[in-house]
Amino acid sequence: MQKFINLAKQHNLLKIIDTPLDVELEIPHISYVEVKKDNAKALLFTQPKRGEKIFDTPVLSNIFGSFELLNLIVGKDIECIANQIQNLLKLSPPKTLLEKITKAKEIFALRHAFPKILHCKGECQEVINLNPSLSELPALKTWEKDGGAFITMGQVYTQNLEGKIKNLGMYRLQIFDEKRLALHWQIHKDSNHFFHEYKKAGVKMPVSIALGGDPLYTWCGQAPMPYGAFELMLYGLIRGKKVELVKSITNLIMIPKDVDFVIEGWVDPSKMELEGPFGDHTGYYTPIEPYPVLEVSAITHKKSPIFPATVVGKPPLEDKYMGYMTERVFLPMLKTTAHGLIDYHMPENGVFHNLILAQIAPNYPAHSQQIMHAFWGMGQMSFVKHAIFVNTNSPKLTDYEALTTHILNRFSPSKLLITEGICDALDHSSPKYAQGGKLGLDASGDEVKREDFELLEDKHLLQKIQAIAPNVKCLRQYFTHTHNPITILGVEKNNTSILPSLQTLQALSKHLSIIIAVDEGKNDLKNPYMLVWRITNNIDAKRDILILGDLMCVDATDKGICDGYKRGWPEETDCTPSVIASLRERGLLDVSDEFLHRFHITSSSTTQ
């Protein structure tokens, strides 16, 4: 971690803040705003405090806060890593001498994938505390309505009951008190599978949580490796050297020798406690639910440790850059299970599992649909809610303007596949926990033009719509140069379902192709970046999409009882206005009102 700090300094990618700042809201709000800037830097807070208590340990945030920082961490071209993995996955025998030499080098590089076990104490165990207190850690409380302080960049090391399968995961960790913290193991996580093994056996489960060390450890913790594959193997492959592990002091879990902190303990599988709420990476608070509890038995650390932290909420944030690397590195593995896949991309304002764009090379009937189903059956890809597929003649998947034009010129309701399946446990729009609708759009074919379509100006179209549906208060059309423009409607629901109103608009289908309704009071129709975030978050394809001939209607409003939604719609992650105002007054935030509005940073800056 100290090496990373020195490297970031050398490249002018680190901002040091010596002003005493509170770990509750102040440090998180500064970090949250900083990472959204075009010239974002990592932040080192040298005097974090909680109330009047100033911590000895500095807090480092926004470690993965830009592509420049990501490149510093990785130290090599990310595409080269993907090519290395792709070559290893090729099972065909080499034919020429050069191919044999190259393949031998690639296979020899695999020796680094297997960790080295050290029979000594590590740097992370220079200080050992067997009567620890979690309150001594400068853990952040990011959002005003969070259930408390959370450790947000923990590397959670676990193993199965037999000790043969190792896992590294990255989960949020709520601090309950000095000796207990919650483990947010969602139902599909490997750690949760291990937990149930221990529960069935009736024995306590060992867990060690590392903080800091090489930032690449943290990235490996969120890498979607197959079940049974230890994530640190990926570390060794990327770094070109074995990770060195030492045994925890009070349990058998192995951790990297050079991390900054280690929190050790045991989980009693018979005990669960309510965790949350927490403002998560979707940009919404997740509800209070029961999760396992770690009873801390020891905390060890370096003599001069650094406490790493990340902030999650509305995009863009650090997960944009961590997700980019995941996307690139794991493309070769996806190709092996989705024949015909060329490339894919997860826009950060689709918060990854809400929207995926994929380029494919279909070569037989229903091939596109086959790949859709393959995506929905593969590991973490199975949580994807909305998938759009284009052919190899499409623009780059990251050229959103050109790509959307390409898609809308090929759009037809007949090319939609609406189904259902597993959803991310953090998804709030699905009618049931972790289960909901999914949508696939095949835009890989030829252009589709509606001969009867007649484009109207926004003002004229709004008048016609309001004559039929007076609860529509405003509208804005996008991509009017395409065969299928998108019409965004700002509506007033008044505790009634909006779908019947949208259905009446079939009378205007000559002037409409794709209608998306959003709540007028909390959306700026001139802000497409945040509209994509809200729309992909707020819809369940089976419940909220209505097909009326050539017209597609989408209800992206907040849901309630009037929509048959009974789970309780969550609040958004908004910064506390008084904290933002205070930080600006003290010169610690140098951003404009327009910037706050662009990214919906406070509730008052959402609309304009």
450 lies in some domain: no
Residues 522 and 583 in one domain: no
Report whether the peptide linkage leading into residue 226 is cis, meaning its omega lies within 30 degrees of zero.
no
**Which ranges of 526-576 does DSSP label H, i.e. alpha helix?**
528-538, 541-544
Q: Note the Cα 246 to chain centre separation in Å.
A: 30
pLDDT value for 511: 97
Mean of the pLDDT values across residues 243-264? 98
> Which residue has better confidence, 371 or 25?
25
Edge-to-edge order in the sheet of strand 514-519: 472-478, 486-491, 514-519, 551-555, 545-548
* 570 confidence band (pLDDT: 50, 70, 90): very high
Residues of the chain with pLDDT > 70, as a percent, come to: 96
Q: Per-residue pLDDT for 63 more than 80?
A: yes
Q: Per-residue pLDDT for 338 more than 90?
A: no
Q: Per-residue pLDDT for 3 more than 80?
A: yes
What are the tens digits of pLDDT across the range 120-139? Answer: 999 999 999 999 999 999 99
What are the tens digits of pLDDT across the range 512-553? Answer: 999 999 999 999 999 999 999 999 999 999 999 999 999 999
* 450 confidence band (pLDDT: 50, 70, 90): confident
What are the tens digits of pLDDT across the range 354-373? Answer: 999 999 998 888 888 888 88
Reading the block at residue 460, the tokens are: 């004229």
Residues 471 and 516 in one domain: yes
570 lies in some domain: no
Q: Per-residue pLDDT for 92 more than 60?
A: no
Query: Which CATH number characterizes residue 7's domain?
Result: 2.30.110.10
DSSP tag of 150: E
* 97 confidence band (pLDDT: 50, 70, 90): low
Residues 439 and 464 in one domain: no
Residues 406 and 527 in one domain: no
Number of Cβ within a 10 Å radius of residue 530:
19
Residues 264 and 144 in one domain: yes
Mean of the pLDDT values across residues 65-89? 87
Pairing between strand 356-360 and 341-345? Answer: antiparallel
pLDDT value for 94: 64
Number of Cβ within a 10 Å radius of residue 163:
10
Q: Per-residue pLDDT for 255 more than 90?
A: yes
Q: Where are the beta strands (DSSP E) in 531-587?
A: 545-548, 551-555
- From 248, 277, 309, give the residue that closes a domain: 309
Q: Per-residue pLDDT for 107 more than 90?
A: no
> Which residue has better confidence, 461 or 377?
461
Mean of the pLDDT values across residues 434-439? 93
Residues 51 and 162 in one domain: yes
Query: Which CATH number characterizes residue 469's domain?
Result: 3.40.1670.10
* 104 confidence band (pLDDT: 50, 70, 90): low
Reading the block at residue 590, the tokens are: 């140098």
Q: Per-residue pLDDT for 86 more than 90?
A: no
Residues 34 and 117 in one domain: yes
pLDDT value for 96: 73
Sorted by sequence, the CB contacts under 8 Å of residue 523 that are 6+ apart come out as: 490, 530, 531, 534, 606, 607
> Which residue has better confidence, 107 or 544?
544
pLDDT value for 102: 63
Q: Where are the beta strands (DSSP E) in 529-608?
A: 545-548, 551-555
145 lies in some domain: yes
453 lies in some domain: no
pLDDT value for 225: 84
pLDDT value for 105: 65
86-120 burial, b if ≥16 CB within 10 A, otherwise e?
eebeeeeeeeeeeeeeebeeeeeeeebbebeeeee
Could you tell me the sign of the dihedral formed by the alpha carbons of 528, 530, 531, 536, in that order? positive
d(CA 121, CA 119) in angstroms, rounded, equals 7
What are the tens digits of pLDDT across the range 146-173? Answer: 999 999 999 999 999 999 999 999 999 9
Q: At what angle do helices 67-74 and 78-89 cross, to 10 degrees?
A: 50
568 lies in some domain: no
Mean of the pLDDT values across residues 436-455? 93
- From 309, 335, 361, give the residue that closes a domain: 309
* 209 confidence band (pLDDT: 50, 70, 90): very high
Q: Per-residue pLDDT for 76 more than 60?
A: yes
Number of domains in the chain: 4
Residues 72 and 203 in one domain: yes
**3 state SS of 306:** coil
Q: Per-residue pLDDT for 75 more than 70?
A: yes
Q: Find out whether 548 and 541 touch, Cβ atoms under 8 Å.
A: no
pLDDT value for 82: 83
pLDDT value for 190: 82
Residue 187, judged by CB atoms within 10 A of its CB (0-12, 13-18, 19+), counts as exposed
Residues 390 and 519 in one domain: no
Mean of the pLDDT values across residues 566-595? 96
- From 309, 340, 361, give the residue that closes a domain: 309
Residues 213 and 247 in one domain: yes
The vertex-154 CA angle with 62 and 248, nearest 5°, equals 140
Residues 303 and 322 in one domain: no
448 lies in some domain: no
Mean of the pLDDT values across residues 5-13? 97
Closest CA to 484 of 441, 437, 424: 441
> Which residue has better confidence, 114 or 472?
472
Helix (H) or strand (E) holding 421: strand 416-422
Edge-to-edge order in the sheet of strand 116-117: 116-117, 244-247, 254-256
Amino acid, res. 417: L
pTM: 0.93
Reading the block at residue 512, the tokens are: 């409409």
Closest CA to 158 of 187, 175, 183: 183
pLDDT value for 27: 98
571 lies in some domain: no
Range of the domain at 529: 458-563
Residues of the chain with pLDDT > 90, as a percent, come to: 82
* Average pLDDT value over all residues in the chain: 93
Residues 39 and 166 in one domain: yes
pLDDT value for 291: 95
What are the CA-CA distances from residue 588 to residues 362, 364, 563 (Å)? 52, 58, 43
Mean of the pLDDT values across residues 93-119? 73
d(CA 247, CA 249) in angstroms, rounded, equals 6
Least confident range from 7-16, 231-240, 487-496: namely 231-240
With the CA atoms of 248, 254, 260 and 262 taken in that order, what torsion angle do they form, in degrees rounded to the nearest 10? -40
d(CA 115, CA 246) in angstroms, rounded, equals 10
201 lies in some domain: yes
